[in-house]
Copies of this chain bind each other. A is one copy, B any other.
């Protein structure tokens, strides 16, 4: 018997969940719920049914885990507690400032329903958080640095698109190589935003737009660009389509610490990811944590969890004896 998964919200992330579940024979997507018209959605998995989101409640007893694929700003603060009253749920809530509020609201709903909710699952928050925690636990007097990129920032791309005369825009956040090297060398540098990352923009303009004015406006935009070194490339619509339609991302998390009588021994721990598709990778992590949510709930556990609360063995479909023999 497979773990029956529902996808709630069907964009890049929801589609990514379908791809991910397709690599896991012990799980199966049995329903997609959408606010759009179901007939407008074409799932990638043959035979998967699409329902209006209102139908979710009627499928309470046949869904083991719902993976919430909405956004953190508006959707998840409402949806995760709402659906935790019906299903075990997993989300990728990434609004750092509100994580504990979200936690408590999901915890209350999930406990009342006897379900498990795992929040803030992804790579950051998520796998990067795990590495921060473990590195500091091992080396509490050391220091962790996080770099993001090379990858597309949706927020910065949107900011470019709002400029007058811009038809399309895409922004890549890129770590400064010298900053990475200085951290790896254990120099414990203090960075300004400009020292750590630079920003590269690709822009398609409307006919007759003032190129120089657009470049100036981008480079001097407060909060988004003015604190960074930024390069702007003007390209054609065809070039945009051909070279910049992916959603790559990545990042580096580097911890350095010292041990020994005089702290003479340096240790560098580095975790990095390089992703052709940010949403598909995030979806793959959500799928693994959906398995953990199901198992915890089968053990009688309820309430909210984060990646910090999940024993890693719960993520794998293999049993403990096999994991010890093959992975340890």
Contact = CB atoms under 8 A, between A and B. Distances in A.
Interface of A: 16, 19-20, 23-24, 44, 96, 99-100, 103, 120, 125, 127, 129-134, 136-141, 184, 246, 257, 259-261, 264-277, 280-281, 283-285, 287-288, 291, 306-313, 315-317, 320-321, 323-325, 327-328
Q: Which of A125, A261, A284 has the most CB of B within 10 A?
A: A284
A259 B16 contact: yes
Contacts of A19: 259-261
B328 A307 contact: yes
Given A44-B261, A259-B284, A276-B267, A309 B308 contact: no
Given A127-B134, A274-B267, A316-B133, A308 B323 contact: yes
Copies in the complex: 2
Given A312-B308, A316-B133, A321 B100 contact: yes
A315 B133 contact: yes
Contacts of A307: 312, 328
Top 10 A-B pairs ranked by shortest CB distance?
A: A308-B313, A265-B276, A137-B315, A265-B277, A259-B280, A137-B288, A268-B274, A129-B328, A137-B316, A125-B328
Contact of A273 (B260, B270, B277): B270
A200 B137 CA distance: 34
A118 to B, nearest CB: 12
Nearest to A263: B19
Contact of A140 (B24, B127, B309, B312): B24
